[in-house]
């Protein structure tokens, strides 16, 4: 199996997995154009689409792809039913595509029905978990997003995080603003800055390293708690997360 990210729009990644038989699946097609070009260039047959949530920058390419491939299977949560999904999925479901077994996790917060797809080592997490950050909370609550991140953080350390956007550098700038004394974050900031200067992707990234540089996964970190909590009150991890998310929203 080969993992590829197809760049689209300003900063979207449309992920694809392909096999040696020329079959492939894609995740969150924000734009059909780059997908069709990639399929023709590589002579691939598109077998299925995985949708994580209903936002246009994740589903806008579905109608054209369905028009080109009428038998295409489009998996997605209930909130994507009116955006092209013809097979609905929910938490705990398993689906098989290209002989790969995906487990569906409910990961609300960004949207209420957001789901993530996991087939070791691949995690397609849409707008829930970004490298060095997490998604904005539009429809859900901070508690929902916190629980969703904890769910994903419980996956094996060698899990490859395949987020839907290239936000890593901006997320690290915020992380350094909050926690400038963290040496791992400082080190990774310089690595990512160099990658982005060459227009290279920062994804996928292994979860075990993400745990070191993502402040939204470091709510137990005493140094981070002290950096955020000038009053020295006994804050819960959820409260720490909520403070971080609010600060990021206004950064």
Residues marked as binding for Zn(2+)?
53, 55, 57-58, 110, 127, 165
Please state the residue numbers annotated as binding site: 53, 55, 57-58, 110, 127, 165
Cβ atoms of residues 74 and 106 within 8 Å: no
DSSP, collapsed to helix, strand or coil, labels residue 7 as strand
Query: From CA 248, how far away is CA 98, in angstroms rounded?
Result: 39
Q: What are phi and psi of 135, to 5 degrees?
A: -75, 155
Burial level of 172, CB count in 10 A (0-12/13-18/19+)?
Answer: buried
Please return the burial class of 150, using the count of CB atoms within 10 Å of its CB with bins 0-12, 13-18 and 19+. Answer: middle
**E strand or H helix at 179, and its extent?**
none
- Residue located via tokens 């806008």: 60
Distances (CA, A) of 72 to 115, 134, 226: 20, 30, 51
Question: How many residues belong to the chain?
Answer: 251
């Amino acid at each position: 199996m080969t993992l590829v990210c197809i760049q689209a729009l300003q900063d979207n990644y449309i992920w694809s997995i392909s096999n040696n038989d020329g079959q492939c699946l894609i995740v969150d097609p924000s734009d059909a154009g780059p997908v069709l070009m990639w399929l023709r260039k590589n002579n691939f047959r598109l077998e299925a689409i995985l949708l994580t949530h209903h936002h246009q920058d994740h589903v806008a390419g579905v109608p054209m792809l369905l028009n080109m491939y009428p038998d295409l299977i489009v998996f997605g949560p209930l909130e994507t039913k009116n955006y092209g999904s013809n097979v609905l999925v929910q938490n705990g479901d398993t689906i098989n595509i290209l002989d790969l077994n995906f487990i569906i996790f409910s990961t609300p917060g960004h949207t209420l029905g957001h789901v993530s797809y996991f087939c070791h080592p691949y995690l397609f997490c849409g707008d829930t978990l970004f490298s060095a950050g997490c998604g904005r909370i539009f429809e859900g609550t901070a508690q929902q997003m916190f629980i969703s991140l904890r769910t994903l953080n419980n996956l094996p350390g060698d899990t490859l995080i395949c987020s839907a956007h290239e936000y890593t550098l901006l997320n690290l700038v915020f992380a350094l603003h909050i926690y400038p004394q963290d040496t791992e974050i400082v080190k990774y900031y310089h690595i990512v800055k160099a990658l982005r200067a060459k227009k290279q992707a920062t994804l996928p990234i292994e979860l075990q390293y993400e745990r070191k540089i993502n402040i939204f996964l470091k709510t137990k970190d005493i140094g981070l708690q002290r950096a955020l909590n000038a009053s020295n009150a006994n804050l819960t991890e959820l409260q720490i997360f909520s403070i971080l998310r609010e600060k990021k929203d206004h950064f």
